[in-house]
């Protein structure tokens, strides 16, 4: 009985602490495309992949993309 009561006394504060939402220090916002690209380039430059694959990913991140038309024309 004492063991189950002590387990309950210890488990309740832990579960309550896990369920509490942390206070937001700044309002949540979506990242801009420029911020996402800058972060991706930073992570890419820190990676240790081979030069051919690195160049391909860097080119994909830095070149402007054209909108794809989902209409196949048929």
Q: Give per-residue pLDDT as tens, 9-22.
A: 888 877 777 776 76
Q: Give per-residue pLDDT as tens, 27-60.
A: 778 899 899 999 999 999 898 889 999 999 999 9
Provide, rounded to the nearest whole percent, the portion of the chain with pLDDT above 70: 81
pTM: predicted TM-score of the whole model, two decimal places: 0.48
- pLDDT for res 16: 78
Distance CA 28, CA 30 (A): 7
Q: What is the DSSP string of 12-60?
A: HHHHHHHHSPPPPSS---PPPHHHHHHHHHHHHHHS---HHHHHHHHHH
Please report, in angstroms and rounded to a whole number, the separation of the first and last CA atoms in the chain. Answer: 74
Q: Tell whether the model's pLDDT for residue 68 goes beyond 70.
A: no
- Residues 61, 44: contact at Cβ < 8 Å? yes
């Amino acid at each position: 009985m004492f063991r189950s009561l002590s387990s309950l006394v210890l488990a309740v504060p832990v579960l309550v602490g896990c369920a509490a939402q942390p206070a937001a220090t700044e309002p949540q916002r979506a990242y801009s495309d420029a911020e996402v690209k800058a972060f991706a380039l930073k992570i890419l430059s820190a990676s240790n992949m081979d030069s051919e694959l690195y160049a391909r990913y860097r080119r994909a991140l830095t070149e402007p993309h054209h909108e794809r038309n989902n209409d196949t024309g048929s």
